[in-house]
Structures are given as C-alpha cells and as structure tokens.
Structure 1
Amino acid sequence: MTPVHHGVTPDSGGDGDSLPPAVKVPYILSVSSFYRYKNYARLVEAFGLLREKVSQEYQLVLVGYPVERDVHEAVNRQIASLGLRDHCLILPGVPYDSLSALYRHASIYVFPSLCESFGLTPLEAMAFGVPTLVSNISAMPEICANGALFFDPYDSADLADKAVAVLQTSSLREDLTKRGRERARRFTWEACARKTLNVFLEVMSRGR
C-alpha cells in the first residue's frame, strides 16, 4: 500500500477578504459538514466552558452543510440550551473567497473529528497561518504532526483548556502559526501527482 496525500491550496488561493456579515471578530472557526463523527456537539460544549475561562468575547463559527439533518438540528438545540445563540453562528456553505477570509481572520481553528482518512481543512487553516487544534486520534497525528496542538476529542474540558491556552499565550500562537505553515507546505499537488504517477509506473512495470 502506498499512501498518496492530497495537496493543499496555499494562502494565495483566494482573493476575497470580506467576512460574511454575521461573523463577529474575534472568532473560533471550524469547517466540516454536519455528520455525527465530526463531533460538533463536543466542540459546542467546549466553547461553553471556554467562555467561562476568558474575559474576551469570542464567536464560534461553524461552516458546513447539514448533510445529516438530525445532527444539525441537535447541535442547534444544544446551542440554544446552553444559552449560546448570540455567540454561535452556523453557515451552511460559503464561496471559496469568503472561506479564505474566514481562515485568514480566525483567532484559532478547531477540528474535533472522531474519524478521518485525511483531514483537509486543518491543513488549509495551517496554510493560512491560523493556530490549529485537532483531535489526537485517527489520521490527525500523522497528517498534522507538530504543526497543530492535539486534544482528546471525547473530553470537552481538555479541548476548552487547550483552546484557552492558545488564545491567551501569544508565544504559543506564534509557534503554532510557524510550525503549521511549515507542515502545510509539505502537502503540494505536485507531490500528489508525482506519487500517483509513480504508483502507476510501478504497477505497469510488473506487467499486470
């Protein structure tokens, strides 16, 4: 088996710099369609805990299509039950230029997924220089390596504590920004194409 990783479009990929009108700076960003395994419920719970630990008002911005509508509805109910309606924003999908702007202006990026074969959006966030926090399971340690800060996706308190540490420690943010960009630069479409071609050539050389 030969793993071939996707490439990541660099920071210069989008020219737009205008945020959607409902977005309030500063904000915490997460980009994933609504599936149960994306673990948005744990992120919302952690955001509630985070708000108790910081004096700065942050908005939580979730960008993703409601693919599993029951999950989308459950997250909306959870937001309401925790009294977070005025502090959480769900965007069902945005143009690429707007997504680029969302990455650029985010205070941190959080990816709490429980199961991934790759995980593109954390690398996109890292390419934009956003301090990135990701779950410590599945493919995330392999893909993000030392470019992100890891947390237990089953532990809302751990996620909240790690997020608070990043938000309140400038040296940690700067370090994550630097290491994240360096890591994201390893994932290019040129490398993806080259590795794919090499696999084809190797198979052809075996005569079958």
Structure 2
Amino acid sequence: MFLLSDKNIDLVCTGVPFSSDELLNLSSLHLSERVFCYPASEYDLARLYRDALCFVYPSFYEGFGMPILEAMSYGCPVVLSNTSCFPEIAQKAGLYFDPTEIDDIHEKMKIMTGDVALRHYYIEEGYKRIKSFSWEKCAQQHIEVYKSLL
C-alpha cells in the first residue's frame, strides 16, 4: 500500500529471500523493481542503515531488538511495532504503530518518510537513546546481579 502510493521509495528487506509466492505477489503489483530482499553482511547493513529514510520493524515478538539499536547508531530513524520490548528499547526515539493494523503501519511510514524535520528529530533522539546501551554497561549489570545472588 505504502509503495503503491509513493513511487519514489524502494523497500529493502534483509534476511531470508522472498518465497516464490511473495515474488509472484510483488510482480502482480508491479513492485519487483522496487522491493528487494537479500542476506546482508555487517558491511551491507551499515550502508543500508546510513542510506535509509527509516528502519521499519513490524515484529510481534522479540527477545531484544538489537536491530533497533543498530539503526539508531547509524542515524537511521526507527518506525516500530508498539509491541514486545520495542517501546522499552527505543522509548521516545521511535515512531510506533500497531502491527495488526496495515493502515497504521502505512500511515507511520508515510509520516516518517514525508517529514524531514520529524526524521531529524527521531535521528537525534536515537543518538541520545543509544548512549544508554553499551556492552560495558551490560557486563556491569550482569556482575551486579551475580553479586546480589551471593
């Protein structure tokens, strides 16, 4: 729906390649030349995050949203499900949607890609939020938990 309404935006998915049925659906919608999916290396991901208008994460369940932190660290604004751990991770650095509502996902993608000032706001909030996370901090918190158990 979003891609049909904005002919200037392409969609890049990473991970498992599209199935035959998904490729047929894209072809029937004339989106084969604008929607891409491929396994991405860390180098590819860094480039994609830097070049993207936004990172969209329509997941229902996650243990932890590491891709959210990755996107924010590269200055990529995030558009996220309002479920799972996402609101806790991104807090006010993310624009949220209901993953069960296609119209809501469409609207939030349209808002983020269409408003440069808003994108810059979320980029800055992302940079602020990412400072709350580090492997050193994670290790220290684990040490504190272990100490409390002794």
Q: Decide: shared fold, TM above 0.5.
A: yes
Q: Is residue 131 of structure 2 the alignment partner of residue 180 of structure 1?
A: no
On the 8 A contact 2:80/2:94 being kept in 1, the answer is yes
Q: Which runs of 5+ in 1 are unaligned?
A: 1-48
On the 8 A contact 1:127/1:185 being kept in 2, the answer is no
Give RMSD over aligned pairs.
1.7
**Equivalent in the alignment of 1:30:** none
Q: Is residue 111 of structure 2 the alignment partner of residue 160 of structure 1?
A: no
Q: Is residue 68 of structure 2 the alignment partner of residue 122 of structure 1?
A: yes
Counterparts of residues 4-19 of structure 1 (less than 5 Å): none
Residues 165/181 of structure 1: CA separation in 2 closer, same or farther (3 Å cut): same
Counterparts of residues 87-166 of structure 1 (less than 5 Å): 87-91=34-38, 93-166=39-112
Aligned residues: 150
**Equivalent in the alignment of 1:86:** 33
Q: Distance in 2 between matches of 1:170 and 1:163?
A: 13
Please, what TM-score do these two structures have when normalized by structure 2?
A: 0.91
Q: Which runs of 5+ in 2 are unaligned?
A: none
**Pairwise CA distance, 1:73:** 4.3
**Pairwise CA distance, 1:52:** 3.9
On the 8 A contact 2:16/2:37 being kept in 1, the answer is no
Identity %: 31
Q: Distance in 1 between matches of 2:3 and 2:36?
A: 15
Q: Distance in 1 between matches of 2:21 and 2:79?
A: 24
Q: Distance in 2 between matches of 1:128 and 1:88?
A: 22
The structure that is helix-richer by fraction is: 2
**Pairwise CA distance, 1:75:** 3.3
**Pairwise CA distance, 1:166:** 1.3
Please, what TM-score do these two structures have when normalized by structure 1?
A: 0.67
Q: Is residue 5 of structure 2 the alignment partner of residue 53 of structure 1?
A: yes
On the 8 A contact 2:3/2:10 being kept in 1, the answer is no
